[in-house]
Amino acid sequence: MTDLYTWLAALADRGTLPDIFRYAFFIRGLLSVLLLAPLLGGMSHLVVARRLSFFSAALGQAALTGLTIGLVVLGEPLNAAYGGIFGFCFLSALAMVYVRRHASLPSDTLVGVFLSMTLGLGICLLVAVTKRFNIHQVEAVMFGSLLTVTDTDLAILLGIGIVIAVVFAWVYNQLLLDSLDRSLARVSGVPSAFLDYLFVMLLTAAIVVSLKVIGALLVEAMVVVPAAAARNLARTTRSYLSLSIATAFVAGVGGLFISSRLLVPSGGAVVLAMSALFFVTLALGGVRTLLSRDAEG
């Protein structure tokens, strides 16, 4: 990786690339966005279809609690504490799916209970943790910081991305059918419960590996807004997926440049760029509807 950073820095020195490419942290951030765009953008339309938007927010909050547990149990540096985030998020996700499948209360009510519980626990632990550890580590997970992304993070991101892509290629149609109507999926032999657990496990993995760039508070946006923006224009599942990924990609790269220029947290900048794209697609969708009405009239 060092050779790549050196080569890009040389191109920046010659003026071929913008100055910001002199910094390895920016290149790592850019690479992570290039990996995150297809990962989270691709998952986002299934998150919306399976009504897991609020669930994703709860997972983001659980990450904060997981971080504090990780810091207490595993200690610094931040990478060591990531074991706590992975562990706590997976446990929370499994518990939420189990309770959702077995309780009669509405799903958003149950997720709300979990969100409150994990956040309450996180805040209590946070107060204890900040007395012993550097608060900037917590900030990096809450808001996202390019400075904390390492080559190992990129390798993990790539590995998890490949695993998720392979699994989705295998069960995509079943996941979508199960999201549309559980009884129809059942008669087609779709293992609904297995898919429920599998999807949230993959979603949890994707969310946790994106925390360093996007941040726990904003990761929900990354798995909801691309699909919302794409839906304004898409007419087929194929275009839905392509536009979701394109939205995540454009907002990711754009947000990264904004973040490095204005020195604002990368997560906030990416989500703002994504929200701007949502309103652009909303306007384009409105114009298209007007034009088609005129053509019909």
- Residues in the site for other proteins, rule: CB under 8 A? 49, 104, 168-169, 172-174, 176-177, 180-184, 186-188, 230-231, 234-241
Q: How far is the CB of 192 from other proteins (least distance, A)?
A: 9
- Characterise 134 by phi-psi region: left (phi > 0), alpha (psi -120 to 50), beta (else): beta
Give the Cα separation of 17 and 47 in Å (integer).
36
Nearest residue (CB) to other proteins, 132 versus 182:
182
Nearest residue (CB) to other proteins, 55 versus 240:
240
DSSP H helices in 74-149: 78-102, 107-130, 135-143
Nearest residue (CB) to other proteins, 172 versus 197:
172
Nearest residue (CB) to other proteins, 7 versus 98:
98
Give per-residue burial for 3-21: e unless 16+ CB within 10 Å, then b: eebeebbeebeeeeeeebb
Q: How far is the CB of 104 from other proteins (least distance, A)?
A: 8
Q: How far is the CB of 101 from other proteins (least distance, A)?
A: 12
Nearest residue (CB) to other proteins, 195 versus 258:
195
Nearest residue (CB) to other proteins, 1 versus 180:
180
Q: How far is the CB of 59 from other proteins (least distance, A)?
A: 24
Give the Cα separation of 63 and 116 in Å (integer).
13
Q: How far is the CB of 186 from other proteins (least distance, A)?
A: 5
Q: How far is the CB of 241 from other proteins (least distance, A)?
A: 4
- Kindly report each contact of residues 174-179 with a partner whose C-beta sits within 8 Å and lies 24 or more positions away, as own/partner: 175/46, 175/50, 175/199, 176/46, 176/49, 176/237, 178/50, 179/46, 179/49, 179/50, 179/51
- CA-wise closest residue to 225 among 164, 273, 265: 273
